[in-house]
Copies of this chain bind each other. A is one copy, B any other.
Amino acid sequence: MAAQTILFDFTLDTLKTADAKQRQEVVKIVRNELEHVFPQLELAYQLSMEDGYFAVLEENKDTIITCRIFQQGLLTINVEYYLADGKEPLMSFDTMRTMELILRQKLDSDRSKYLPPIKRGGYIDIYMTSSDERIIEYDIDSLVYEARSPFQKIQIMHSKTLGNMLILDELQNIAESDLIYTETLMGRGIENYEGKEICILGGGDGALLYELLKEKPKHVVMLEIDELVMQACNKYLNSICGDVLEKRKTDQYEIVVGDCVEYMKKFIAEGRKFDYVFGDLTDIPISGAPIGECWDFIRTILEHSFMLLKPDGKYLTHGNGTTCLESLELFEEQLRLLKPKVKFTTSKAFVPSFMEEWLFYQVTFA
């Protein structure tokens, strides 16, 4: 089940929106066109303002259309109705396009636009927001798995082109399409992992562990808190994690289920050191100030990670969308505060399932 909201916009000459009489002319043209699609349309309510106009039109109390004129030279039309499963939409793409073209012409509009119908209240959420607050509709066609662990809401959704996607607390994490994410995080072809000792913080989807093991490291230890995430990924993300989540311990690697900070403290106490530490945990928050629980966690992770690194070791982690300059700057500020001092380089990649370009950090002792 879902309601459909269809949005049309037309820019208008401000002469057409300047006074009440002109605005009535515009409304007449709009009503006339809408009636071709909705023949039983009736005017339910109108509100004349000094600087604009608003009306509610309805057909059989099923379809409700609001129509607003802004004196700045803009007309918006919102069509909303309930579309039961399996029913044909009231407006096809052809109908929308035709209405847009005719109204653009009749209203002498310079720029006009209609958006694909927005589906509201459906069982599967197909809209996600990019790190820089853009709306992106995914071609998700099924919810494969859903569960709530003690730590988060876990969903595996299937996208027609991206394959299975891991979504944690409504945030897209990784999809079958995203080998580039893992390869950029680990700097494939740049870093040499052969014979190295590696620690992964987080990484519950298994993709990083799977790719690292191909590079013949001496040993990898992975500290992941959420058993359920690993079970879900082992079942539904095989193409990116292979069978590494099947076993928790082999000669090559060990997966420890628990709080990574606790285990880092334990390793530090034991004097255990690594060539590489990977921060594959929560994203950097998109917030205006480096305060709150989440930033405290990031600082704790960074401080402990560098205590685990050999002098020539590297800390590798993901940042945020490359357009989130403020958030990235805050993260880099945290890096600059570390003692002993560190230096860093960055790399970036367009990650298909994020539908945006992402920044990655390579941090070493200065």
Residues of A within 8 A of B (CB): 1, 3, 5, 7, 9-11, 44-45, 47, 49-52, 54, 56, 58, 61, 64, 66, 68, 70, 72-74, 76, 78, 80, 82, 84, 93, 111, 113, 115-116, 118, 120-121, 123, 125-127, 129-130, 132-139, 160-161, 177, 321-323, 350, 352, 355-357
Are B82 and A120 neighbours in the complex by a CB distance under 8 Å? no
4 tightest CB-CB pairs across the interface, nearest first? Answer: A134-B137, A74-B121, A161-B357, A9-B120
* B-chain residues with CB within 8 Å of residue A47 when the two chains form the complex: 44-45, 56, 58, 61, 64
Q: Are B139 and A136 in contact (CB under 8 A)?
A: no
A116 touches B135 (CB 8 A): yes
* Contact with A118, one of B54, B115, B125, B352 (Cβ below 8 angstroms): B115
Q: Provide the bound-state CA to CA distance between A56 and B113, in Å.
A: 24
In the complex, how many angstroms separate the beta carbon of A40 from the nearest chain B beta carbon?
14
Most buried by B among A93, A177, A321, A352: A352
Query: A84 vs B113: C-alpha distance in the bound complex, in angstroms?
Result: 19
CB distance from A289 to the nearest CB of B (A): 12
Least distance between A223 CB and chain B CB atoms (Å): 30
CA distance A161 to B58 in the complex (A): 42
Question: Contacting A44 at CB < 8 Å: which of B45, B72, B76, B129?
Answer: B45
Contacts A127-B115, A160-B323; A137 near B136 (Cβ below 8 A): yes
Q: How far is the CA of A115 from the CA of B125 in the complex (A)?
A: 11
User: Known contacts being A54-B64, A113-B125, is A161 close to B322, with CB within 8 Å?
Assistant: yes
Of the candidates B113, B135, B161, B357, which one forms a contact with A323 in the assembled complex, judged by CB atoms under 8 Å apart?
A: B161
B3 and A133 form a contact (CB under 8 A): no
The interface residues of chain B lying within 8 Å CB-to-CB of A113 are 120, 125, 127
CB closest residue in chain B, given A124? B111
Question: Would A61 and B49 count as touching, CB distance under 8 A?
Answer: yes
In the complex, what's the smallest C-beta–C-beta distance from A240 to chain B, in angstroms? 15
| A357 neighbours in B (Cβ, 8 Å) | 161, 177
Do the beta carbons of B323 and A355 come within 8 Å of each other?
no
A111: chain B residues at CB < 8 Å are 121, 123, 125
Q: Which residue of chain B is the closest to A161 with respect to CB atoms?
A: B357
